[in-house]
Each structure stands twice: as C-alpha cells, then as structure tokens.
Chain A
Amino acid sequence: MIAGWFAGDGDGFRLLGTRCSACASVFFPREDVFCRNPGCPGGDLVEVPLSRRGRVWSYTDSRYRPPSPHVTDPELSWEPRALIAVELESERIVVLGQAVPGVSTADLAVGMEVEVVQGVLNEDEETTWTTWHWRPAEVTV
C-alpha cells in the first residue's frame, strides 16, 4: 500500500516507523516530512523497526462487509476479521491491525500478548498485497 510500512520475513518481520532525531518521537504510519511534536525544533526522521510484541488495548470485528476502498471478493461470503489495537510498551503507541486468519474476537482479551506477523491483505491474478497481522503470542499458525 504505502512503501516502507513493514519489512522482513518470518521471525524477522517488523513494522517500520520513523523516529525524530531531535526529540525521539516515534511515528507509525511513518512520518517522513515533519516531526509532529509541537515543541520540537524538527529533526531528521529516521526509519526504525517497531517492537515485535505488544499487548491488546482493545479488539473488535466487522460482521458486515466493509465498503470500498477495502477490497473483497463479492463472490465469496463475508468472513468477519478480528481487528486488534495493540499497545507497544517501549514505543508507547497503539497500533491497529487485523488478526491472523482464524483468530476471532472470542479468542482475544484486553491485555493479552500478541506479536506481529506477515500476512496477505488481498490478491488477484497479478498481485498479492501483503500486510501485517497480529497473532496471539501463544498461538502458532
């Protein structure tokens, strides 16, 4: 979608943000133009990988098919996906993402540990759009 939001494979997969070299503020999705801290004189914004694990701040799902620009196959019945907002302790940031396929809201609880993994957002004949998913840390899929 946006270049440079994540990188790596397997255990090396990470979300990528940027960090202001003047005030140390972290931004995700990446902020490459201006530091948004109003008290910061402005510094270079340097790419940083975010923590791989965090804790569930909250979660929900979408029982009805979301409208465009979300891409879904209207031929297939809609399978709700859990959405998880995850608190990353060292960055002090909350990042929303889809849960890995097969994890429903019934499997989740606020405070549960989750980790980021690579996933597929959608695909057609030519392209596979990759994304990040959150996976409960004790689950291996």
Chain B
Amino acid sequence: MRGDVAVLGAGMHPWGKWGHGFVPYGVAAARAALADAGVDWRDVDSVVGADTVRGGYPGHVAGATFARALGWQGARVTSVYAACASGAQAVGAARAQILSGLADLVLVVGADAAPKGFFRPAGGDRPDDPDWLRFRVLGATNPTYFGLYARRRMAVHGDTLEDFAQVKVKNAACGALNPNARYRARVTAEEVAGSAVVADPLRLLDICATSDGGAALVLSSMEFARRHGAADPVRIRAVSTVTPRYPSTVLDLPDIATDSAVAVEPAPDTFRASIARAAYEEAGIAPEDLSLAEVYDLSTALELQWYEDLGLCAEGEAAKLLREGATALGGRIPVNASGGLASFGEAVPAQAIAQVCELTWQLRGRAGDRQVEGARVGITANQGLFGHGSSVVAVR
C-alpha cells in the first residue's frame, strides 16, 4: 500500500541512565508527542507499542502498558517486537492501519531501561536459540561483531583507526547540540585513541553505550491532518521492514556462520543495502534526493558501512566521504545530526522511533543549533537482530 501519513507530533524522554522502569520514559515521550501534535489522548484511535523484552516481558506488554498508564480509553492496541527494528515495525504497523482506514490517529511509543554493560540473552540452557549459542560457544558479544566488521573494512577498503575516531568526533559534536542526548560533551580523536580496546580494533569510544530512553510519534491520515489545521506536515513516505535473501553471506549478529553460497548465487545487494533500496523504491526517491540520514551507529566503523549501503557513496568510499566533511553538519549529506547512538546509547525499542523524531524536527526546521539547512527529505536506517530490516523515509 502506498501513500503518505502525517507526523503530527514527536516527543522524547531524554536518554541517560535514570534508574527508572521503562514505563515512565514511554509515557513522558507519549505526552510530549501528544502535546506537540495538539491532540487529546482520548481522541487517539490506536496505540502501537514497540516492546522491550528484558524489562517488559513477561509481565508487561508495551502497547497495553502505555495505554493503561496514559488512562484506558478504548483505543485499538498493537505491540510489536523486532529487536532493534521494533520501533520501525511499530511505525510500519501504525502506517498500515492509517492507510487502510482502520485508524485516523495513532500513537507510536517505544521505551527501555537497558541493563549496564553487554547485552546478553535470557537465562537458562537454550541451545535452540542462536543468540544464546554465540555467547555460550564463542563468548561473542555484540562488540565482537562490530570488531569483525571494522577489521574487514580496514583490510578491504583501507579504513584506518583515525577514520573510525573521526566518526565519533563528528557525532559527539552533534550530540553536544542535542538536549535529548545522553552524552553532551565534544570528543577528540586523541580521547578515542586513548580509550580502552573493547574488541580489536574498536575502543570504548568507538562503540555505543546502553541507555534508558523513550521516544514517541503521533501519526495521522493526511485528511485528519488537514482537518486538524496541519496543511503541510512532515510526511512518512516509506517504511522498509524487509528480511534478508538467501544466501545471506555477510556474517551477522547473532550467527556463528553465514549461509553457504554453494547452491544459490548471492544477490548483488547485501541485507543492509537491500533495506535502504526497498525504502528508496517505496518512496520513489534516490540517494541524491536526501537532505540528511540518521543511521544505526552501533560502532563508528558500522556508520561508515551504512554510507555505502545507503548509496551515499560507492563501495569502499565511505572514509573518503567522511574525510571530505560531507557527512558532518554543514556538509553535503549530514549523517546523524542528532548525535546518533554515539551520543544517545541504545534503548532498543525506542531508537528507531527516535530517528524518526529527529527527521521530523529537522524537516520542520526546528532542530535548533543542529539544524540541517533546507532539509526536505530524510532517511533512517537500522537493523534488528534475526533479520529485521528498518528504514523510514520522511519528506516535507
């Protein structure tokens, strides 16, 4: 189904380590988004929650938990879990309801209270779970996968540790301008180089932290937006939630091995590139049309990978694009003007929604000191464990 939906409101709870459960973060973000939209919670037709599993299951299911906390009012409810892509799937579910006429006004919420240190699988002996297996058999944490990608880029494309550090320097400079970011200090390349190695060759400041946080959006039909007096709202034009295609030949979280390409020739695109391509096709745009991008910088090296997967430059040219300053604020195609996960940290069900909040503020021209001048088209890119694509295109 094609067609635009309007972003009437966006809201966040500032990210950090606040020591609360996930519910207050989500409720604060939801109230901020409703206020921004100028709509009453009781007029919302449908609420879609992006689930948090560690804090939220069993016992709490996100959609209903937020609806109850805001006050039961009879809205349709949906809860989605797609790991780091949960937020994009929540936006996708809300959009499908609006475009199909099931709902006119939808609240999308994601929030988390992340544990300190490494993410880890739930307890028990569960050898049927690939996520459990990679920890048990290999001790392979998320940063070890980021380290593998970084080393591979160094070997194949000639990226350097200094290139990786400059991604952090760039994103920290943006985060310093964002009141919702957890880390608000500028960082130097020397500070990155001086931080401890976590997974060779990546250091502590190359890898994003875990955080608490919440983000919410109020979406509506274009018709509702017009009636509501929002004649020219930010619009969501595409939501990509594609899966990989067999054989997937880039070793990826949480797998111990790739698919074998012995029987079927791999598609020319990698999974990450196919996420973006699906979004471009659905939106009817090309990389050249973009004003900005918010990408999933779990590590500095992974941000560079996204430049290529989004088609911002040719394969192997990401470090060159960075060195030219094209992806910094004021450059040709700013990436992570929000500060990215480097400045926010991971709050899993909230982060893909937070990316759309940033696009919304940027496309409205209300992003303050970090405003990308004349922003008209933005894309988000993200990826959920177990083959969940995540990309949203917003336009003004």
Interface residues of A (CB under 8 A from B): 1-2, 20, 23-29, 36-40, 57-64, 66-72, 81-83, 85, 90-98, 105, 109-111, 121, 131
Contact = CB atoms under 8 A, between A and B. Distances in A.
Interface of B: 117-118, 120-121, 123, 125, 127, 132-141, 143-144, 147-152, 155-156, 196-202, 246-247, 249, 251, 255-264
Most chain B beta-carbon neighbours within 10 Å: one of A27, A71, A93, A105 = A93
B140 to A, nearest CB: 6
Given A37-B263, A71-B136, 14 more contacts: A1-B137, A20-B263, A25-B262, A26-B262, A60-B148, A66-B141, A83-B139, A85-B251, A93-B257, A93-B260, A94-B257, A95-B256, A105-B201, A110-B151
Contact of B132 (A69, A72, A83, A92): A69
B263 A62 contact: no
Contact of B139 (A59, A62, A95, A111): A62
A96 B257 contact: yes
A92 B261 contact: yes
B375 to A, nearest CB: 36
A88 B261 CA distance: 11
A62 B143 contact: yes
Contacts of B261: 92-93
A37 B149 CA distance: 26
Contacts of A96: 134, 138, 140, 148, 251, 255-257
A93 B138 contact: no
A27 B149 CA distance: 22
Contact of B156 (A20, A29, A110, A121): A110
A81 B139 contact: yes
Contacts of B121: 69
Contact of A83 (B117, B148, B202): B148
B120 A57 contact: no
Nearest to B126: A69
A68 B135 contact: yes
Chain A, interface SS category: loop
Contact of B149 (A58, A69, A98): A58
Given A58-B149, A70-B139, A63 B155 contact: no
A134 B209 CA distance: 30
Contacts of A36: 246, 259
Contacts of A93: 257-262
A97 B152 CA distance: 16
B264 A60 contact: no
Contacts of A28: 256-257, 260
A94 B260 CA distance: 8
A11 to B, nearest CB: 23
B121 to A, nearest CB: 7
Given A1-B137, A66-B140, A94-B249, A59 B262 contact: no
Nearest to A35: B263
Contact of A69 (B135, B151, B201, B262): B135
A61 B199 contact: yes
Contacts of B132: 69
A90 B260 CA distance: 10
Contacts of A37: 246-247, 263-264
A59 B256 CA distance: 13
B144 to A, nearest CB: 5
A58 B135 contact: no
A67 B264 contact: no
Nearest to A110: B155
A29 B133 CA distance: 10
A94 B246 contact: no
A92 B152 contact: no
A24 B262 contact: yes
Nearest 8 A/B pairs, CB to CB: A60-B147, A110-B155, A66-B139, A92-B261, A58-B152, A70-B139, A26-B260, A67-B120
B148 A85 contact: yes
Given A68-B120, A110-B156, A39 B258 contact: no
A17 B241 CA distance: 31
A70 B136 contact: yes
Given A28-B257, A29-B256, A92-B260, A59 B151 contact: yes
Nearest to A2: B127
A58 B151 contact: yes
A131 B264 contact: no
Contacts of B256: 28-29, 95-96
Nearest to B198: A63
Contacts of B200: 59-61, 63, 82, 105
A44 B388 CA distance: 29
Given A25-B264, A64-B198, A94-B258, A83 B144 contact: yes
Contacts of A2: 127, 133
